[in-house]
């Protein structure tokens, strides 16, 4: 069964880096890649109430520009990433980012979204940065992998999975993480960051459940006594040279008042390794 992967692009260097990362991560799998460009029409902004019509000169010019950029991208991929296991599709659309994501994910039955974390800086209509973080928060149908601009692909050997053990784990939530780990023989390092390292009975039970779910992959459990969760995760990742951070993006865990700021925002804006948000 082919994996279906959506990679939004604004044709910036950062977006191209995310494309390359996705192609390398899935080098050995049969995949269909859907590249999505949300084009903007110069004389219109989302604030103006008039929406440019297909067929109007500004709309068609912007669409043509998007399609030309895609043909350059595909030529380049043919040259540097010619993989018989991969098929490429392009989608040029004038739409709101969240709407374009929603439609494409459901129409194309997407398994994973891969995004860069910064856009072409200062460019108008740029769709990354805070948009990547929003996508990680809003997309609930499939996992989202955010790839920082300076990260070059190397085979993941260690994936850090931060958790507070406060809610029970479900196998299907973690199936994607296990799949990536198996694909690259990577180890999963479960990380608990808290001022008080002791677990209550409920947390112990959830930890045991996690142990059972991860039994088919190399994994280990770690505890850090640190008052700031995102600092704790960052220092753990840096000290071990880990390759990826994965977490379950549950509303009450990341958006409740467990933390002063949502963790996805803190890690998302300041990531030094790819971040995988599972749902």
Q: Going residue by residue through the chain (279 aa), what tens digit of pLDDT does each one get?
A: 689 999 999 998 889 999 999 999 999 999 999 999 999 887 666 566 677 788 888 889 999 999 999 999 999 999 988 999 999 999 999 988 889 999 999 999 999 999 988 644 444 444 446 677 778 878 889 999 999 888 899 999 999 999 999 989 999 999 999 999 999 999 999 999 988 889 999 999 999 999 999 999 999 999 999 878 888 898 899 999 999 999 888 764 444 333 345 566 666 556 789 999 998
In a domain, 19, yes or no: yes
Question: CA-CA distance, 274 to 276, in Å (whole number)?
Answer: 7
Contact (CB, 8 A) for 4 and 108: yes
Alpha carbons 205 and 51: distance in angstroms, whole number: 54
Q: Are residues 101 and 15 in the same domain?
A: yes
Helix H segments across 31-96? 57-80
Q: Checking DSSP bridges between strand 144-147 and strand 112-116, what pairing results, if any?
A: parallel
- pLDDT score for 267: 62
Best CA proximity match to 186, nearest among 220, 221, 217: 217
Give the CATH number for residue 141: 3.40.50.620
**Whole-Å CA distances, 189 to 26, 127, 136, 258:** 22, 32, 21, 22
pLDDT at 118: 66
- Is residue 21 located within the same domain as residue 100? yes
Q: State whether 48 and 106 are in the same domain.
A: yes
Indicate whether 141 and 240 sit together in one domain. Answer: no
Sign of CA dihedral 65, 142, 140, 109: positive
Task: Identify the pLDDT of residue 185.
Answer: 97
226-231 LR contacts (CB < 8 Å, sep 24+): 226/193, 226/194, 226/195, 227/195, 229/162, 229/193, 229/259, 229/263, 230/259, 230/261, 230/263, 230/266, 230/267, 230/270
Distance CA 168, CA 208 (A): 10
| pTM > 0.95: yes or no | no
Residues 82 and 32 grouped into a single domain: yes
> How far is the C-alpha of 268 from the C-alpha of 18, rounded, in Å?
14
User: Are 142 and 175 within one domain?
Assistant: no
In the chain, the number of structural domains is 2
Residue 122: the pLDDT is 46
């Amino acid at each position: 069964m082919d994996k279906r992967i959506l990679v939004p692009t604004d044709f910036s260097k950062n977006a191209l880096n995310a494309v390359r990362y996705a192609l390398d991560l899935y080098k050995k799998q049969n995949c269909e890649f859907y590249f999505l460009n949300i084009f903007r029409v110069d004389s219109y902004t989302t604030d103006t109430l008039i929406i440019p019509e297909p067929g109007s000169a500004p709309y068609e010019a912007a669409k043509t520009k998007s399609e030309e950029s895609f043909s350059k991208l595909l030529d380049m991929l043919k040259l540097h990433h010619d993989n018989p296991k991969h098929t490429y599709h392009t989608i040029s659309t004038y739409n709101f980012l969240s709407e374009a994501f929603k439609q494409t994910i459901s129409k194309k039955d997407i398994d994973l979204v891969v995004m860069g974390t910064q856009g072409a800086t200062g460019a108008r209509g740029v769709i990354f940065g805070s948009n990547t973080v929003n996508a990680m928060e809003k997309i609930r149908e499939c996992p989202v992998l955010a790839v920082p601009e300076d990260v070059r692909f190397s085979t993941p050997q260690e994936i850090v999975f931060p958790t507070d053990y406060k809610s029970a784990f479900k196998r299907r939530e973690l199936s994607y993480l296990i799949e990536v780990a198996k694909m690259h023989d990577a180890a999963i390092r479960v990380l608990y960051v808290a001022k008080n390292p002791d677990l209550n009975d409920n947390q112990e039970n959830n930890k045991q459940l996690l142990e059972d779910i991860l039994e088919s992959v190399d994994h280990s459990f770690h505890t850090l006594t640190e008052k700031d969760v995102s600092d704790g995760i960052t220092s753990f990742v840096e000290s071990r040279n880990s390759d990826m951070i994965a977490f379950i993006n549950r509303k009450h865990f990341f958006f409740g008042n467990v933390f002063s700021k949502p963790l996805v925002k803190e890690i998302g804006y300041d990531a030094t390794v790819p971040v995988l948000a599972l749902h």
